[in-house]
Structure 1
Amino acid sequence: MKQYLGVFLLLSVFSQWANADVANGDFENWTGGSPDGWTTIDSGISVSQSTSVVYGGNSSAAITVRTGEQSSTDFRQTVGITAGQTYDFSVWVRHTEGHVSARLYVNGYRDYTNYSLTGQWQQLSYSLTASSSGTIEVGLRFYDRSGFDGTEVVYVDTFEPTGTSGGDSDDGYYDPAKGLSGYSLKTALYNIIRDHSAQSYSALWSFYAANDLDYHYEQDGSILDIYSEKPTGSDSYNYTAVSDQCGNYDSEGDCYNREHSFPRSWFGGAVAPMNTDVHHIFASDGYVNALRSSYPYGEVATTSAVSSNGSKLGSGQSSQGYIDTVFEPIDEFKGDVARAHFYMATRYQNVIASWENYSIYGDAVLDGSSNQVFEDWALQLLIDWHNADPVSQWELDRNDAAQEFQGNRNPFVDHPEYVESIWGQ
């Protein structure tokens, strides 16, 4: 009886306006030996980067199939689709020994490769017209054939449609900023991202339900809450999109709401378009959101309260230059909130100089200028957090979705080097 090995190559973009782009479908981006945007959970396969056998670009994924380890056989992500849209999926596969076949999976099993055709690339493709909006699985499944000796390499490349997941590889979005540095670069970025299409405050719920979902940690589709998410373990509680929206709350775990990482009291309250700008407003536990209040972010010296994932409220460390109350998210999300602050400093540089006096906490962070924007202590903290916590795949995916939602991007997610170029000490 034939044995089989399954490997699903699924993408991690799920948005209300899904375009089905496969994140890192060209396998050009790798971190720590793993392809960005893909999660290997399959003990029966291993995945490595090949720069010698490629279909396009500079690298491909070399997938080693092993029948001796078949207890878990998935390598997966998710893809969002929109009702009525037609999506043309395809992937290029190259067999080495001819004893393992690959079968395309697009919301069901499709065609097989010709496994006896070795040493050359062959394409699998399938066109899907979505009958409803939501998510589907796409990918490959591998089956061993006669003569299989227990290990065989299959090369995979150019899984399409491929998303850029980081912005401007060919669309010229940041062309006006090329060659600039310092505050001239910041002004150029302001001109690129200003005048976005402001959405309603209630529309944020829809954005969260479609995009702030956990397909990156536990991968269970629950709301990805930055104040409760435990990157290396099981969360203390999980929120279901829509049904667990706040609402009233008495304690942590009651409901999720909309956290202005750059507090809205700092810009005068419920003022458009800042109050609904999704680039700085994250899904978070309602109780912990209230606990954070409008305090600055900072490094905590003496803790007065802590959330379920270890986010802390307390007095600031004297070494950072601010000893009053601060809120400290866990390391996994420090870079995220720092880049959100840099976005706000850039998107609203035409008005941010006047925000210093709206709030005593805002005054502690903002320096009353439109160029540096932040007090020295806060700027150094944000730079440190930005450098220590690099851009994650979730941020890349969220940035894509935010552009669909309101028409602009966070430049510091797409180009982390811009922080140094503008504010470097």
Structure 2
Amino acid sequence: MQGYVGVRTRLAAFAALVLIAVGAASARPAAAATPLTVAQAIATQNGSVQTVRGYIVGEPVATNTVNRSGFTADYAIALADTASETATSRMLYVQLTTQWRAAWGLKSNPGNLGKQVDVTGALGAYFSHPGQKSPTAIAASGGGSTEPPPSGGGPYDDTYYKDAIGKSGNALRTSLHTIIKQQRVLTYDQVWDALKDTDQDPANSNNVIEIYSGRSIAKSDNGGGVDQWNREHVWAKSHGDFGTVNGPGTDVHHLRPEDVTVNADRGNLDFDNGGSAVNQCPDCWRDGDSFEPRDAVKGDVARMILYMAIRYEGDDGWPNLEPNESVNNGSAPAIGKLSVLKAWNAADPPDAFEQRRNQRIYDQWQGNRNPFIDHPEWVTSIWP
């Protein structure tokens, strides 16, 4: 009997050890998924969140243009499967949101060129090119932190925006207004020269890009004639009746080159989705009370409109501008449709062209910035 009990005891102990071993094995974390190659990421532009491994090969500045030296900003990097790649068709354009720019932007860190990195983010077109947006992790391959830098901010958060950081809602709005209203005011004639700089075609320095049509046209071909380009007020100047007066009428944060005919077709319409096709403006639509621009600049339009609402609050002799839900605002100092503009801001994040434009206005022309280009997330903080 004692022998039988001893056997049972040993069997029970063995079974317990097996259960412990099985439990330990099942508790082990699954092995991390192998990162995608750049080629695989280019073929998987479906919005899924993936980790991609590649070499930093330059700074994207246009759909088919990547700077490999003379870096102009910290807003995007291009990845490739080899460090020597020069064909943009084999590159993935990675958006650098504010928390990643100080560590990974090439203007601030030219030594990052050629480094192999792992980037986790959503795979989808960026700057009309296969890309990866809204990264949640960036690290040197083989190690290093995958968390955003502790400041969580962009290059101007500790200086230009320091009084706004950490605020939300009306407090954020008030701080941003105080910050951005400090600007140099241009004349309407000066706007011509400003637009030739701010809206320069990255692929042809003799041209500008028209905002709605997307057409590249000679800088010198400006004026009021058919097929020339003129100065489009994205916040229609009749909405508040400020005309071309120095101030809101000459603020290049919302003035853009556009074909004379297309500019007339847009007129003073509010912004909304839908309508009939607009002649000479691919992927643009209009009806009796609203205009819809092409997808590639919908976010640009939204951020320009919302900049105007924060910049012009009625405390400096100019109208108090504000977006609303109407598409029939007439001459009121309002423009719509706010819910659509918020959706456009989310769907079309700032690209390299828009970011360069913001920088040129700040550095060369007005000395103020559009905060919604630097921090698109502030839109829903102010207009929840």
- The TM-score, its normalising length taken from structure 2, stands at 0.60
| Contact in 2 for aligned 1:177/1:189 (Cα 8 Å) | yes
Deviations along 1:176-215, one digit per CA (max 9) or x if unpaired, are 1122111221111000001311011111111222231221
Task: Spell out the pairing of 1:331-410 with structure 2 (5 A cutoff).
Answer: 331-350=295-314, 363=329, 378-404=337-363, 405-410=365-370
Q: Which residue of 1 aligns with 2:212?
A: 227
Runs ≥4 residues deviating over 4 A: 7-13, 28-31, 43-49, 56-61, 89-96, 351-356
Q: Closer, same or farther in 2 for the Cα pair 1:223/1:29, shift >3 Å?
A: closer
- CA distance, structure 2, for counterparts of residue 188 and residue 95 of structure 1: 39
Q: Which residue of 2 aligns with 1:118?
A: none
Question: How much does 1:286 deviate?
Answer: 1.0
Please say if 1:422 is aligned against 2:382.
yes
Q: Which residue of 2 aligns with 1:200?
A: 187
- CA distance, structure 2, for counterparts of residue 312 and residue 420 of structure 1: 26
Identify the match of residue 23 of structure 1 among 72, 95, 116. 72
Please say if 1:277 is aligned against 2:251.
yes
Question: How much does 1:263 deviate?
Answer: 0.7
- CA distance, structure 1, for counterparts of residue 362 and residue 57 of structure 2: 28
Q: Which residue of 2 aligns with 1:291?
A: 265
- CA distance, structure 1, for counterparts of residue 266 and residue 367 of structure 2: 29
- CA distance, structure 1, for counterparts of residue 335 and residue 181 of structure 2: 20
Aligned length: 272
Deviations along 1:42-69, one digit per CA (max 9) or x if unpaired, are 27986899xxxxxx975599xxxxxxxx
Q: Which has the higher helix share?
A: 2
Q: Which residue of 1 aligns with 2:166?
A: 179
Please say if 1:261 is aligned against 2:234.
yes
Aligned partner of 1:209: which letter? K
Question: In structure 1, the residue corresponding to 2:272 is in which secondary structure?
Answer: coil
Task: Spell out the pairing of 1:113-152 with structure 2 (5 A cutoff).
Answer: none
Q: Closer, same or farther in 2 for the Cα pair 1:245/1:93, shift >3 Å?
A: closer
Q: Closer, same or farther in 2 for the Cα pair 1:349/1:95, shift >3 Å?
A: closer
- CA distance, structure 2, for counterparts of residue 48 and residue 385 of structure 1: 21
- CA distance, structure 2, for counterparts of residue 95 and residue 418 of structure 1: 32
Question: How much does 1:277 deviate?
Answer: 0.1
- CA distance, structure 2, for counterparts of residue 48 and residue 400 of structure 1: 20
- CA distance, structure 2, for counterparts of residue 350 and residue 414 of structure 1: 24
Question: In structure 1, the residue corresponding to 2:175 is in which secondary structure?
Answer: helix
Question: How much does 1:395 deviate?
Answer: 0.9
| Contact in 2 for aligned 1:260/1:280 (Cα 8 Å) | yes
Question: How much does 1:350 deviate?
Answer: 2.6
| Contact in 1 for aligned 2:270/2:328 (Cα 8 Å) | yes
* Structure 2 unaligned residues grouped into runs of 5+: 1-55, 63-68, 95-100, 117-152
- CA distance, structure 1, for counterparts of residue 338 and residue 303 of structure 2: 11
Higher gyration radius (CA): 2
Identify the match of residue 217 of structure 2 among 223, 230, 239. 239
Q: Closer, same or farther in 2 for the Cα pair 1:11/1:266, shift >3 Å?
A: same
Question: In structure 2, the residue corresponding to 1:399 is in which secondary structure?
Answer: helix
Question: How much does 1:267 deviate?
Answer: 2.4
* Structure 1 unaligned residues grouped into runs of 5+: 1-6, 14-19, 50-55, 62-78, 80-88, 97-165, 230-234, 316-324
